[in-house]
Chains A and B, each alone.
Chain A
Amino acid sequence: MFESLLVANRGEIARRIIRTASGMGLRTIAVHSEADADLPFVRAADDAVLLGPPPPAESYLDAQRVLEAAARCGASAIHPGYGFLAESATFAQAVIDAGLVWVGPSPDAIDAMGDKVKARNRMSAAGVPVAAGTEEPVQDVDAALAAAATIGYPLMVKAAAGGGGIGMGVARDDAELRAAFETATSRAQRFFANPAILLERYIEGARHVEVQVLGLADGHVVALGERDCSVQRRHQKVAEETPSPGVTPALRARMLEGAVRAAEAVGYRNAGTVECLVDPVTQDYVFLEMNTRLQVEHPVTELVTGVDLVQEQLLIAAGDPPAADLDAVEPTGHAVELRVYAEDPRRFLPSPGHIDVWDEPAGEGVRVDSGYAAGNTVTPFYDPLLAKLCTWGPDRDVALDRARAAVAAFRIEGLKTNLPFFAELLADPAFAGGDYDTGLIDRMRR
C-alpha cells in the first residue's frame, strides 16, 4: 500500500474518502478553493493545499494545480472522487506520468466509456443490450430528424460527452426534437466542450437501475448488486435504494452478468457503475452508460454488503487483494439514500446561504455523509449536495421508517433544503409501495 493520498475533490465525498484512508493509516491531503477553506473535509485531512479562486476552472478542474499540490505535499496517490476530474482520461494519464498512483480505472477504460456513442457501440458488440439509437454522433438537426424517422419517437436527446443529466431532453415529435437538439447542443458545448449528440429510444415508465462493479487487481470483475435511482428531478438523482423494488431475481441475475461483461469488455479495474434502464412491464433492460468512478450513491451498496468501496478502491489501486471475499458477498436487508440539497423543496431551485444550525440525525441503521457543519456558507459555485442521509433496515419497510424518523430529526437552518420534499416522498403511496419510475417527481408536482 502507498503511504499518502491526495483527494482531488470537495465536500461530502472528499470527507468520506479521507475517513477510510485515515483508517487505513494513510496520510491524507485535501485540496480546496478559497470558498471551501472552512469546510469539514479540509480539517479532516492531515494536510491541506489551497488550489485557487472559487470557480471550478481555477481550482478543482485545474489539473496542473492539483498535480503541483501533490508534488508539494509528496502525495503518492490521487483519488478523484466523482465529478470534476474523475472521468478525465487526460488527467488520469497525467497522474500516472507524474509517477503517482491513480485511484481509478485506466485512462483507456475511461476513454472507452467516456463517449456515450462509442460506449454504446462497444457494449452492443460485447453482447450487452442497448436501446435503439444512433451509432454515430448526430451533427445537425436535419441528421437528427432523419435518425428519428428510423428509430421512432419518443426519443431521448443527450450529449455524447455528457453526464449529470445536463442538456438531456425527451422529444415526442419533430418540433420537440428541434428544440431539444438545440438545447442539448448548446449545453454540451458549454459544459463538455463537445457538441456531439446521441439519440436513443426513450422507454416510457422506465426505472433507472445501475449495477456496482469492482474490477480487482487480478483482472477479475465482481458485481455487488444494483441500485434503483429512479427518483429524479431534471434528470438528476434525488434518492436511491437497494435492492430495486422493480427488479425480479431473474432480471437481477441477467443485469449483474451483463454488467460484468460490460466491464470485462474494456479490461476494467477499480470501482465503476453500469447504468441501465429497466422496462418494468417487459422486465427487459438496456445499457445506458458506464460511470468510471466511485458513484455518489455508493453508500447504499456499502450498507447492504458491508463492503467499504473506498477501501477496495485503494487496495485495487495499490495492486493488493481485496479486504473482503467479494465473490461470497450476499446483500442483507434494504438501504435508501436521500440527497439533501440546498434547494427549495417545491421548485427545486438552488438556495445557497449560511448554515446557522446543523444537527444530524443518528441511531440504529442511520448513516450521514455530510460536507458541511454549522457556521459554514454554502456558495453558488458547486453542486447543491449538502449531505447524503442513508438508512438501512432488515427490510424495506424498516429502512423507510428509519428514513422518515431521520428526515424529521435532521435540523438545518439558515437556508432552504429539500428535507420537506423527502417527508412528502416517504409519505407518497407510489414511492412507499415501491411502484414508481423516473416520472415520479413530475407526477408529484403536477
Chain B
Amino acid sequence: MAEEVRAEMVANVWKVVVTAGDTVADGDTLVILESMKMEIPVLAESAGTVQELRVNEGDVVQEGDVIAVIG
C-alpha cells in the first residue's frame, strides 16, 4: 500500500535528497525542510519505491501537504 509522507509544519524545501523511482528503506531521509532557521529531515516511514515526489527545492509547503508517495 502506498504511504503518503506529509509536511508536519509550514516550511521551505531546502534539499530534495531522493528522486522518483529510488528505492528507500524505513527511516531514509527524503527531503530536508527548513523552518525558522532549523533543518527538519523528512523521513520515509516504510521501505519501498519513491512513486511520486511532489516538491522541488525552494518550494514552500503547508502543514499536511504531501511531500512524497512511497509504495
Which A residues contact B (CB, under 8 angstroms)?
164, 166, 234, 342-343, 349-353, 379-384
Contact = CB atoms under 8 A, between A and B. Distances in A.
Given A349-B9, A352-B9, A353-B10, A380 B40 contact: no
A343 B38 CA distance: 11
A382 B35 CA distance: 8
A383 B9 contact: no
Nearest to B58: A55
Contacts of B9: 349-352, 380
Contacts of B57: none
Contacts of B34: 380
Contact of B12 (A234, A343, A351, A380): A380
8 contacts: A342-B36, A349-B8, A349-B38, A350-B36, A350-B38, A352-B9, A380-B34, A381-B36
B36 A383 contact: yes
A87 to B, nearest CB: 16
A382 B10 contact: no
Interface string B30-57: 0000111110100000000000000000
B31 to A, nearest CB: 15
Interface string B1-26: 00000001111100000000000000
B60 interface: yes
Contacts of A164: 37
Contact of B10 (A234, A343, A380, A383): A380
Nearest to B38: A350
B40 A350 contact: yes
A91 to B, nearest CB: 19
B37 A352 contact: no
Contacts of A351: 9
Contacts of A342: 36
Given A352-B35, A352-B36, A382-B37, 4 more contacts: A342-B36, A350-B40, A353-B10, A380-B9
A384 B34 CA distance: 12
Nearest to B11: A380
A116 B36 CA distance: 25
A353 B37 CA distance: 15
A352 B8 CA distance: 11
Looking at B12, B34, B35, the one whose CB has the most chain A CB atoms below 10 A away is B35
B8 A380 contact: no
A342 B11 CA distance: 13
A383 B38 CA distance: 8
Contacts of B8: 349
Nearest to A56: B37
A350 B40 CA distance: 9
A300 B10 CA distance: 32
Which 5 residue pairs are nearest across A and B when measured between Cβ atoms?
A380-B35, A350-B36, A350-B35, A384-B36, A352-B10
A192 to B, nearest CB: 13
A420 to B, nearest CB: 17
A234 B38 CA distance: 10
Nearest to B8: A349
Nearest to B12: A380
A384 B40 CA distance: 14
A383 B40 contact: no
A384 B38 CA distance: 9
A444 B10 CA distance: 27
A234 B39 CA distance: 12
A384 B9 CA distance: 13
Contacts of A353: 10
A416 to B, nearest CB: 9
A68 B37 CA distance: 26
A384 B35 CA distance: 9
A166 B11 CA distance: 18
A380 B7 CA distance: 13
Contacts of B60: 380
A173 B9 CA distance: 35
Contacts of A384: 36-37
A381 B14 CA distance: 12
A272 B32 CA distance: 35
B41 to A, nearest CB: 12
A350 B10 CA distance: 9
